[in-house]
Structure 1
Amino acid sequence: CRITSQLWRIFITLRGFAWPLPNRITHLLYSWGEVGVGAADRDRWRIVPACIWWTVWKERNARCFESKSCDLQKIN
């Protein structure tokens, strides 16, 4: 989905990474651990995909079932 891809790109850019997003979710998860984060941040880093998916899911439900939508900048 275009919105989800944009949300991921915003997050990656804000973190200061130059990392092309994989085309498949499975590839994203496999390569996620390879992105350079220190040991202190590793546990938090591992939950980021789930947090982004949760945010996308909540926004999707708001759009589908409540006729509400947020600007992409407000979602992140």
Structure 2
Amino acid sequence: MIGFYSSARTAGNVSCPALFQVMSNDAVAPTNVALKAAGKVQRATIRIHEGGHFDPYVEPLFSEIIEEQLAFLRKEVPVK
């Protein structure tokens, strides 16, 4: 069934802020598919990074990915 799943089908239903960290050479979640889904989310923040699917989990990209996520959360979910 996973081969028939399409995140773009329901992405337009997302109403909260969402961060999309898209990899430019992703063979698992292809870039064009991720961008199509992100484009349907009203409050999407899209960041494109060079690399493949698993590159965000290791340095040198790991630190940048985490900082981007923390900055997004600080902006969209401020602590009062």
TM-score interval, smaller chain? 0.3 to 0.5
| TM-score (ref. length: structure 1) | 0.34
